Amino acid sequence: MNISRHAGTHECPRGVRFTSERYFVALIRMYDQSVELVLNLTSSERLAYVEHLDKLRSRARTLGCGVGNELNSLWYAASLDEQ
């Protein structure tokens, strides 16, 4: 994943500072790393983690700054909806 594409690519609400934006980029990066780890688990181990990642993805919709969209992109790119 090219994380540099995340910084500044989505319009953030007024009052969101650069440090907040860096926080969002870090969240996206950590979610991406989690997806990669989950994909390497056996299918019996994977289910609980996929459910947790789905809950996190759902919560991210309210964050703004494109975080929810980015997590959705990572989710579907990894085909986690088919797990």
- The answer to the question of residue 7 being in a domain is no
* Residue 10 covered by a domain: no
User: Phi-psi category of 3—alpha, beta or left, where left has phi over 0 and alpha has psi -120 to 50?
Assistant: alpha
Give the total number of structural domains in the chain. Answer: 1
Asked if the structure places residue 5 within a domain, the reply is: no
Angle CA(36)–CA(78)–CA(25) in degrees, nearest 5?
65
Predicted confidence pLDDT, tens digits, the chain (83 residues)? 444 444 444 556 565 555 677 888 899 999 999 999 999 999 889 999 999 999 999 999 888 788 999 999 999 999 998 87
Q: Give DSSP secondary structure letters for 46-76.
A: HHHHHHHHHHHHHHHTTT-TTHHHHHHHHHH
pLDDT of residue 29: 96
Whether residue 20 is contained in a domain is answered as: yes
- Compute the distance between CA of residue 46 and CA of residue 35 in angstroms, rounded to an integer: 10
Domain carrying residue 39: 16-82
Establish if 56 belongs to a structural domain: yes
Give residue 1's pLDDT: 43
Per the listing, tokens 């780890």 go with 37
